A = this chain, B = another copy of it.
Amino acid sequence: MKTSYALRRLLSNNYSLQCQTKRTFYRSFLRQTVPLTSVRYPNLKRGGYSALTDKDLSVFEKLIPGRVLTGSSELDGYNTDWLKTCRGSSQVVLRPKNTEEVSAILKYCNERKLAVVPQGGNTGLVGGSVPVFDEIVVSTQLMNQIISLDEISGTLVCEAGCILGNLSDHVAESNLIMPLDLGAKGSCHIGGNLATNAGGLRLLRYGSLHGSVLGLETVLASGEVVDCLSTLRKDNTGYDVKQLFIGSEGTLGLITKASILCPQKPNAVNVAFLGCDSFERVLDIFKESKMKLGEILSAFEFLDADAIAVARDNLKLSIPIDDTFPFYVLIESSGSDGTHDEEKMNGFLEDMMNRGYVIDGTVASEPAKIQYIWSVRERIAEGLMHDGYCYKYDVSIPLSHYYGLVEAVRERTQGNTTRVIGYGHVGDSNLHLNATSPEYSQTTMDLLEPFLYDWVAKHRGSISAEHGLGFKKRDFIYHSKSESAVRIMNQMKLVLDPNGILNPYKLLPTVVR
């Protein structure tokens, strides 16, 4: 177990290194290469917010002494997103330690009409967690206390700045797991996960955060603290107000604490990595896995040949089976009885081989091997960065049309991209489509958008399955949401943040129909 643990830490730390420890190294690089968002989008106008003054800074210094960052080199990492596609020009980062400090900061900013961007681990992929202009960054980095864990009910209560991986380690000691898991777990904050309604690798089994979050504490723009920090699984006393904040991307309030239901830790985990010869076979295997693995099925992922090439060529990872198949499937089972689970998995795989659905495959039950197989899947996002610029899409498409989008985009952008790859959570109808080129190209972008969003809307999909809308996708909201729904969103925004200071230029569209 110890070896595997070390390996897992090593893998997840790749993200930490890129996002945090290596920040110094990247500083000058970031400033040179990432254009300011205000320059890349010259038609975008700054809202009528106040400009930061020295007096504001001295007020902040009084509210949170020693935790007001202003040095421009210190601010680079907070101004730039992980994908290096968005850069703001904030002059100050505030690092409150508790809810009261957040409340005092927001109250002041609201009265002064200073715009604010809440920031967690800054691992978002749609430009939602960095300033667009000069918004003040309020970071949850120092709000990282675990408050309680009830072992019988499985309820964890913690502050918003806790790193997801640390929470996983903590609850594992009580034989529990976090209900979500994702590649960025080494640096993403739980508050950011909640604000973006993060999906990830375990959604198929443990459902969405709308189900597993029991309570939230949130601070509104006015500084008012909204206490919905229930730890109860059932509480039907009025509207479920906390749901509004899950997935609101910091535009309705700043989440400060959460109470989360943690499932029992499985005693046994098995992972199968399979090669097959068409996407139809991927779907056949999925349908059969639901029947045969039933309650122990915990992940069903796929990768196409071009995604596998990223792992092999850019990351130098050795592919666990022959690397020439057009499609690969990763199936995970998690259960309470290793013998039963292996019987189920072996029976299922034997059937799949006999039917010719699976051509080749490997199964792992040793933690080290399991984690290696997962790393091939989880590190694709990192591997893509080696190509230069990455055009990143995260969509839901009904399974009947799922892979058609990759083929359509590949055909349309031929000659204008290094590669177009498809991979993701088939089990949730969620496709990660990524295209790369040596550097950002407006021609390529114009080929991709709005073509891709139109295609998704035409097939009744979602233009953002789990990444959110953030800055980059907000004006495509009508491709997935009705005008009546967006009108209600705007009404909620107006009620909860009448001055619009919270994360402006994000989520809600520029023009309301």
Contacts and interface: CB of A to CB of B under 8 A. Distances in A.
26 contacts: A152-B287, A152-B399, A153-B398, A175-B291, A196-B236, A211-B212, A226-B485, A227-B482, A232-B465, A233-B429, A233-B430, A234-B430, A236-B466, A236-B469, A237-B463, A237-B477, A238-B485, A239-B252, A240-B243, A241-B485, A241-B489, A243-B244, A292-B336, A337-B343, A340-B343, A488-B495
A235 B396 contact: yes
Interface string A415-437: 00000000001001110000000
| Minimum-distance CB pairs A-B, first 4 | A211-B211, A294-B336, A243-B243, A235-B462
Given A241-B488, A293-B336, A396 B463 contact: no
Interface stretch (A84-92, A202-210, A273-281): A202-210
B233 A482 contact: no
Contact of A240 (B225, B247, B336, B463): B247
A39 B168 CA distance: 56
A240 B210 CA distance: 9
A212 B175 CA distance: 26
Interface in A16-49: none
Interface residues of A, number: 91
A429 B225 CA distance: 27
A192 interface: no
Interface string A143-186: 00000001011000000000000000000000100000000000
A309 to B, nearest CB: 26
Contacts of A247: 236, 238-240
Given A235-B480, A243-B243, A291 B211 contact: no
Nearest to A261: B207
Given A336-B344, A486-B238, A429 B227 contact: no
Given A247-B240, A462-B232, A477-B238, A227 B396 contact: no
A217 to B, nearest CB: 10
Contacts of A286: 152
Nearest to A463: B237
A462 B153 contact: no
Interface of A: 150, 152-153, 175, 196-197, 199, 203, 207-208, 210-212, 224-228, 230-241, 243-244, 246-248, 252, 264, 266-267, 283, 286-287, 290-296, 334-337, 340, 343-344, 396, 398-399, 425, 428-430, 460-469, 473, 476-477, 479-482, 484-486, 488-489, 491-492, 495-496, 507-508
B235 A488 contact: no
Given A203-B233, A235-B462, A336-B344, 9 more contacts: A153-B399, A208-B211, A232-B429, A233-B428, A234-B462, A239-B244, A241-B485, A295-B295, A295-B335
Given A208-B211, A477-B237, A264 B294 contact: yes
A68 B142 CA distance: 62
Nearest to A196: B236
A430 B313 CA distance: 54
Nearest to A199: B234
A235 B227 CA distance: 27
Contacts of A429: 153, 232-234
A47 to B, nearest CB: 19
Contacts of A211: 207-208, 210-212
Contacts of A496: 488, 491
A452 B236 CA distance: 17
A264 B290 contact: yes
Given A482-B228, A488-B226, A264 B287 contact: no
B396 A238 contact: no
A432 to B, nearest CB: 11
A484 B227 contact: yes
B428 A466 contact: no
A241 B491 CA distance: 11
A226 B264 CA distance: 38
A343 B336 CA distance: 12
Contacts of A267: 294
A484 B466 CA distance: 29
A238 B467 contact: no
Given A208-B211, A340-B340, A469 B238 contact: yes
A239 B340 contact: no
A347 to B, nearest CB: 9
- Which of A196, A252, A264, A283 is the most central at the interface, judged by chain B CB atoms within 10 Å of its CB? A264
Contacts of A199: 234, 236
A430 to B, nearest CB: 5
